[in-house]
Amino acid sequence: MSSSKGKKAIVLGGSSGIGLEVARVLSEAGAEVIVGSRRGKLVETIPGITVDSVDVLDRDGLANFFQRHGRIDYLVNSATGGPRAVGPFMSMDLDGFQASFAKLWGYANSVRIGGGHVKDDGAIVLVSGYPARKHKPGYIAISTVGNAVEGFVRGIAPEIAPVRINAVSPGLIDTPMFVHQGEDREKFLAEGTAHHLIPRAGTSREVASGVMFALENNFVTGTTIDVDGGALLS
């Protein structure tokens, strides 16, 4: 295991939720952290973290972003790319299904454009999700995109070696992405995890810990690390 102290990291989609927590943990570990976000600001101020506006779907803008920040040790992308379609596939708006793949295009753009800025002993982490391998009816778009992300990681790892690349796959995590509030939120998370081996929602901090493992462990590449409370086994 290497230390993140003194390393330089870019976290895309890091203005809130899991990405923000990854940025926070990296900063606490002594890394220089640049958050790239369409918002151009964080939902809370964190000392030591630089924020720069960028859209992962804008290739020219992304190229300029990486050019501004130079060589890096770590690249983490947790950007969703936009809304994702939910509902039965046979009645789903196919434009919505296709738009769900914005997450994959954003990830592909970041690796293609940003990968050349990662040092040879550096690492890339993309964030997937447990629906890639287990999902309820109505989540086919999210599942298919997750499958594509994890397959991309396995396929690209031999091409970009010695740079390492891994995916981290969270379970149901209590983040600001859920619109539910108060008792409705508690009920939604409780019902969604009732049959998981660890029957509660995960935290962004727990997912960030998995991302840190993927970044710092120099003997891990081309794989998916599950941080899902046993959701895949339930």
Structural domain includes residue 233 = no
With H, G, I as helix, E, B as strand and everything else as coil, classify residue 228.
coil
Structural domain includes residue 234 = no
Structural domain includes residue 3 = no
Residue 122: which H helix or E strand, with range?
strand 118-127
Residue 73: which H helix or E strand, with range?
strand 72-77
CA distance 169 to 92: 25
Please give the pLDDT value at position 203: 96
Structural domain includes residue 205 = yes
Tokens 């914005």, residue? 102
Domain span including residue 35: 8-226
Structural domain includes residue 146 = yes
Number of domains making up the chain: 1
Structural domain includes residue 81 = yes
Task: List the CATH number of the domain containing 92.
Answer: 3.40.50.720
- Report, as ranges of residue numbers, the positions in the chain whose pLDDT lies below 70: 177-181
Structural domain includes residue 188 = yes
Structural domain includes residue 2 = no
Please list the alpha-helical segments (H only) found in 32-74: 59-69
Residue 52: which H helix or E strand, with range?
strand 49-53
